[in-house]
Structure 1
Amino acid sequence: MKISIQQQADYVTFELTPHEDDRLEYRTASLARRTATLEMPKGFKVSEVHPDLLGLASFIIASPWAAKQIEFPVPVSDHFANEVARVAKLRTNNVSTTVQKRETGTRPGLSFSGGVDSMAALELMPEDTFAVFSHRARPEKAVSLYNDAAPLYAVDEMNKAGQPVHKVVNDIEFLRKPIGFSVDTSPSVPLIFCWEMWLH
C-alpha cells in the first residue's frame, strides 16, 4: 500500500494506492474510497509534522488494507519501521537513518468522542490534557444515519466549562463500506496531526 499526502490551504488529504497483492476487503468491510481529507486548524503545516507521526497517521488509515508492504508519504525512522514490522508484519521501504525517532511528549492528549466515556476520562486526566474531537464530515451524496448533535453539544459545553476541546472535521470514516472507522484507533488521527502544533 502506498500512501501519499497533500496539503491545500487548511485541508490535508491522504491518498491510498493499493499494490496488486493488497486486500480491498478487511473482515466485514471493504475499501470504498481512496482518499481521506482533514480540515486542520489555521496555521497547520504538514511539513512540520515529524515523519514518524505522519507514518503513524498513515499506518492507522491504511494498515487494514495493506497485505505485505506499506510505503509512507515520507521516510520514517528505523525505530518506527521496526515497530510496524513487529506489530503488523508489514515491510517499509522508505526508511531514513537520518530521521530520529519521535520522542514521547510530556502533555497528555485525548481523542474526544463526545460521549460519557470521554467526559469521564477528561475529568480523571491531568488538567492540561489536550482534547481533539474527530468530527465526521459527510462527503457529497453520501448517506449516513449519524447525528452529530449530541457530541457537538458536549464539545461546546466542555469549552464553556473551561476545558478546551478542538474539532477537526474529516471524512476518514467514509474510506470503508459500511461507513465507520476501519480500526479502533482511527479517531486518533486528528489528535496525532495536532500533536506538533500544541503538544511538545
Structure 2
Amino acid sequence: MTQIDAGGILDIAMAGTSATLLARKWESALLVNVDNETLRRVLNSPEAMAAVDRIEGWRSLGDNVIETIINKSDVVKDLKAKAKANGGELSARDKRDLTEEEREYKSKRKLVQEKLIKFATRIPAFMYLTDFRENTLQDVITKLETDLFLTVTGLTVADFDLLVRLKVFNTERMNEAVFAFRRYEDASLRYTGIDSHEGLTHYGLYDTVVARE
C-alpha cells in the first residue's frame, strides 16, 4: 500500500490528484449559473446577448433560447400555483401543458448550461499557454494575454468580463478550478523532473492569489 503524507491528503481534498478529477472541476455545472435571475440579466443586456452568441455552438440552440426558458418556466410556475389553489388538482389539458412545458424548459436550460461549460473547459488550455503564474487569471485575461484569450476561447475580454459581472460564471468555483489546475500542472512537471517556475511563491487563481505551499 502506498503511503500518502498529510500534504498529499490535502492535495486530494483541495485539488484532486488525477486528470479525471481535474477535468470534473472544469466540467462541473457549478461553474456556471443558468437560473432565471441570471438568464434575465443576460437577456436584458444586448451586449451580453451578443457575447453568448459568440460562444461556440450557441447558435445551434435556436433563436430566443433564453427568453423561451424564462417564459416556459414562468408558465410552469403559474400552473403549479393554480394546482395549489385548487387543492392539487388540474384539468387534463393543464396537466399535459405542465408536463410539456416543464420538460422543454428543463431540456433547453440543460443545453445552455452545457454550452457555457464547454466554453469554461477552454480556460485550462488558455492557462497552459500563458507564462503568468503569480498573476490572477482575471489580470492575465484582461491585461496581459488579451489576444491569446480571444484566440483560444472565441470571446473578447469585454465579452467575458461582462458575463462574469452578470454572474454567469461562478467565480468562487472558478478559483477552486484554477487552483486545481495549478497544483496538477506543478505536480505533473515535477514528476518529469522539471521546475518550470523556480522561485514561484504564489499561485494566481481567478480573482485572488494564494501561497504556493
Q: Which range, TM-score by smaller chain?
A: under 0.3
Structure with more of its chain in helix, by fraction: 2
Question: Which structure would you say has the larger Rg?
Answer: 2
Structure with more of its chain in strand, by fraction: 1
Larger relative contact order (CA 8 Å, sep ≥ 6): 2
**TM-score, normalised by the number of residues in structure 1:** 0.27
**TM-score, normalised by the number of residues in structure 2:** 0.26
